[in-house]
């Protein structure tokens, strides 16, 4: 009887703890638990729904990898919807990149109600078109915290923090553990081939997760650079040392304890 009482008190305290924490949107308190058995994980996203995405698809297919595409509703030509539906069918992922590509931080930032329109209507439109969308990519990378509660209503995960170029020394594990404040590493910087490779090595050392992004390909992200990256990742992926996955697959697998419903 005493044990049951102690157990009861324990659950009351746990309930109080979580109830209390949930009252505020606080990044630190919303951290999820990272599985102890995760592998170093790599994901790639190409932004803006550019016509060069076909080159990305072909290159990734050569290596047996899949990536994500972040689509802007207003700039996507109608006849390209079927193109992305075909990519989705082949295992590529489509993310929302808003309706109009507005600013979510700084002096041009939009209002909360405009933001909700961007979150909700881009998701609804993509869903009506036939896409299974879980993630959001912030236009111009950086989002003020005030939008996060709205964003979380519509998306299971989101990139809302600018990380940018590979660092020296490499960081190797650039993401947050909170699924709505993820960061991405840009592949388009000048003279960064060696630094990108160092980031990949460091990610493997740390059992980390790295989310890469670019826009037009080939362009500032050259064919030589992307091929070098994929050539490096391919044997590691085949031997089971690392995972190269679409963003949502990566997040589900890497953060095994996340409640994703
Ligand atoms: Zn963009």
Whether the pLDDT of residue 24 is over 50: the answer is no
Alpha-carbon distance of 46 to 64, in angstroms, equals 17
Structural domains of the chain, with CATH = 41-254 (3.20.20.370)
pLDDT of residue 261: 42
Ligand 1 geometric centre to CA of 95 (Å): 12
Q: For residue 17, is pLDDT > 50?
A: no
> For residue 2, what pLDDT is reported?
53
Mean pLDDT of all residues belonging to the chain: 88
pLDDT band at 192 (very low <50, low <70, confident <90, very high): confident
DSSP-derived secondary structure for the chain: -HHHHHHHHHHHHHHHHHHHHTTS--TGGGPPPPPTTPPPEEEEEEETT-TTHHHHHHHHHHHT---EEEE-GGGS-GGGHHHHHHHHHTT-EEEE--SS--BBSSTTBPPHHHHHHHHHHHHHHHHHHT----EEE-TTS-B-GGGHHHHHHH-SEEEEEEEES--SS-------SSTTSEEEEES--TT-HHHHHHHHHHHHHHT-EEEEEESSTTTTS-HHHHHHHHHHHHHHHHTTS-EE--HHHHHHHHSTT----
Distance of CA 101 from the midpoint of ligand 1 (Å): 6
Kindly give the distance from the C-alpha atom of residue 198 to the centroid of ligand 1, in angstroms, as a whole number: 26
For residue 227, pLDDT beyond 50: yes
For the cut 80, the answer to whether the pLDDT of residue 193 exceeds it is: yes
Mean pLDDT of 130-156: 97
Ligand 1 mean position to 138 CA, how many Å?
Answer: 7
What distance in angstroms lies between residue 4's CA and the mean position of ligand 1's atoms? 55
């Amino acid at each position: 009887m005493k044990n049951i009482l102690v157990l009861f008190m324990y659950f009351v305290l746990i309930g109080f703890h979580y109830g209390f924490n949930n009252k505020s949107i606080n990044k630190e308190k919303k951290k999820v638990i990272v599985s102890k058995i995760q592998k170093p994980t790599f994901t790639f996203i190409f932004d803006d729904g550019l016509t060069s995405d076909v080159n990305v698809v072909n290159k990734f297919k050569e290596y047996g990898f899949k990536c994500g595409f972040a689509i802007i509703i207003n700039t996507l030509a109608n006849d390209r919807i079927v193109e992305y539906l075909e990519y989705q069918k082949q295992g590529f992922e489509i993310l929302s990149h808003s309706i109009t590509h507005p600013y979510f931080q700084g002096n041009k930032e939009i209002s909360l109600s405009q933001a909700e329109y961007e979150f909700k209507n881009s998701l609804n439109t993509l869903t009506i078109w036939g896409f299974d969308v879980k993630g959001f990519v912030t236009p111009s990378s950086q989002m003020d915290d005030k939008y996060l509660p709205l964003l979380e209503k519509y998306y299971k995960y989101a990139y809302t923090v600018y990380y940018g170029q590979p660092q020296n020394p490499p960081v190797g594990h650039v993401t947050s553990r909170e699924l709505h404040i993820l960061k991405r590493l840009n592949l388009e910087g000048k003279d960064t081939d060696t630094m990108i490779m160092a980031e990949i090595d460091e990610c493997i050392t740390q059992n980390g997760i790295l989310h890469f992004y670019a826009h037009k390909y080939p362009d500032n992200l050259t064919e030589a650079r992307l091929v070098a990256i994929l050539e490096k990742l391919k044997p590691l992926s085949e031997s089971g040392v690392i995972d190269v996955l679409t963003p949502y697959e990566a997040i589900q697998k890497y953060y095994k304890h996340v409640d994703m419903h």
